[in-house]
Structure 1
Amino acid sequence: MTINIDLFLHQCVDVYGLDEEMIEFVPKPHLALILCYPEPDELQLVMQSVYDDLAQKGASVPEDVFFMKQKIHNACGTFALLHAIAQNTDKLRVGQGSFAKWFEDAKKVGVEERSALLAASEEISRAHEASAKSGETDANPEKVEHHFVSYSNINGTLYEFDSSQSFPRACGPTSQDTLLRDAGIVVQEMVEKFGNCSFSALALIADS
């Protein structure tokens, strides 16, 4: 998706595994991890119960974290990418284009309003639609539900950004050097609960 970010200096690269050996192949510095996985009903229920428990304990959106709840159909991949970028604008050259304009406006409104503001951005909407249609293979006619989330380091805490929820989930301590490893531990916990839960991942990286 093209939203006026200097992709020659900052890009998403494939992550072929989240063990120590495979992480070493991912260029540094690591800014965020974007995860895509099938979302069977049982996994959805388990993750929802995790967030429900956190909500009962008073979890909310921290002041230093940018978060938005998805209200656009079939756009969790776009939201995962935008969440990854939004947490790292101090490290990315976001230019003066559609993303920069939307982001500045979005910071001024509440979590519930940001999705509508995104939908109102014609340029970003066109980029999302073009990206969705640009696959190299034809879509499988059978309905397969996949979900995207992202992980970022915010002041030493690893956060999971799931746009279907109402707040980001704090997953424990991390650093820029250990971001992928720490996110990998969180992902592995998910995989262990559901042995047939495969995933694919991208890392948002920047030039060192």
Structure 2
Amino acid sequence: MSYSETKAVWHPLESNPEIMNEYIHKLGVTGSWGFSDLWGLDDEALMFVSQPCLAVLLLFPITENSENLTKDENERIKKTGQIVSKNIYFSNQTIPNACGTMAILHSLLNNTELVDIGDGILRKIYDETKDLSPIEKAKYLEESKDLASVHYEYSVQGQTNVGEAEDNVDLHFICFIQKDGDLYELDGRKEFPINHGKCDDLLKGASNIIKDVIARNPSSNEITAQVFVPLD
């Protein structure tokens, strides 16, 4: 399903942990879990990140090079295959500008054994979509007026200028999680989760991938990362 075939078009969400944390609490998350900026990728900087780190979010520019890499990756996986845990919660993204919300949902709904998602909007989404296919999940989210309303409330609160919902935003959020001993990249624009291999340290594994993204975009100042960690 292409973007042009969807009914919903959203404003982009800013890469701002304060807004993200208000957002997830409005969705129903309780407790001390939240997003925080990742200020560095070297070992010393990673030592100061609260543990356990349950997810890493990355915001990066979509370029011709990144699109070509995605195409090559997709063809390689379809040819050689990959192992994907059945315990992964993954949804495709069919709503334009919804990548921030998709990354947040992937962070939260893959960690329900540790994160209390409450009994509100998020719980309803999880209970009603956990057994659906990725594209069926995406269709459900398109029709969720509650989620669209909360997303809109927090997408217009950012410090940066908010574009029109119809604007073609060239920045994209993805999420990294660890599940059943492997490092996964969850990107709703892709057909399926990407298994990056065995991993005993999510933060370190995700940081190595982020370093590669930065190396491919040496002149970009728009690459940012957040961690989902205990804040207290």
Aligned-partner Cα distance in 2 for 1:170–1:155: 11
Q: SS of 2:138's equivalent?
A: helix
Aligned-partner Cα distance in 2 for 1:51–1:129: 32
Aligned-partner Cα distance in 1 for 2:186–2:46: 21
Q: Aligned to 2:227, which of 194, 203, 207?
A: 203
- Where structure 1 has 5 or more consecutive residues not aligned to the other structure, the ranges are none
Q: Please report how far the alpha carbon of residue 207 of structure 1 lies from its aligned counterpart in structure 2 after TM superposition.
A: 6.2
Asked if 1:106 corresponds to 2:122, the answer is no
Over 3 Å counting, the alpha-carbon distance change for 1:62 and 1:55 in structure 2 is farther
8 A Cα contact 2:91 2:135, kept in partner: yes
- Number of aligned residues: 205
Aligned-partner Cα distance in 2 for 1:62–1:197: 34
The corresponding residue for 2:185 is 160
Post-superposition Cα deviations, 1:10-57, rounded to whole Å, max 9, x if no partner, equal: 100111112111112222210000000111122221122112211222
Asked if 1:120 corresponds to 2:149, the answer is no
Aligned-partner Cα distance in 2 for 1:207–1:74: 27
Q: 4+ residue runs of structure 1 moved beyond 6 angstroms?
A: 140-143
Map residues 1-208 of structure 1 onto 2, 5 A cutoff.
Answer: 1=23, 2-6=26-30, 8-59=31-82, 62-139=85-162, 145-175=170-200, 178-198=201-221, 199-206=223-230
Post-superposition Cα deviations, 1:75-107, rounded to whole Å, max 9, x if no partner, equal: 011101111111101010111111111111101
- Where structure 2 has 5 or more consecutive residues not aligned to the other structure, the ranges are 1-22
Q: Please report how far the alpha carbon of residue 151 of structure 1 lies from its aligned counterpart in structure 2 after TM superposition.
A: 0.3
Aligned-partner Cα distance in 1 for 2:115–2:133: 23
Q: Please report how far the alpha carbon of residue 162 of structure 1 lies from its aligned counterpart in structure 2 after TM superposition.
A: 0.8
Amino acid at match of 1:202: Q
- TM-score normalised by length of structure 1: 0.90
8 A Cα contact 1:51 1:169, kept in partner: no
Over 3 Å counting, the alpha-carbon distance change for 1:40 and 1:33 in structure 2 is same
- TM-score normalised by length of structure 2: 0.81
Q: Please report how far the alpha carbon of residue 111 of structure 1 lies from its aligned counterpart in structure 2 after TM superposition.
A: 1.6
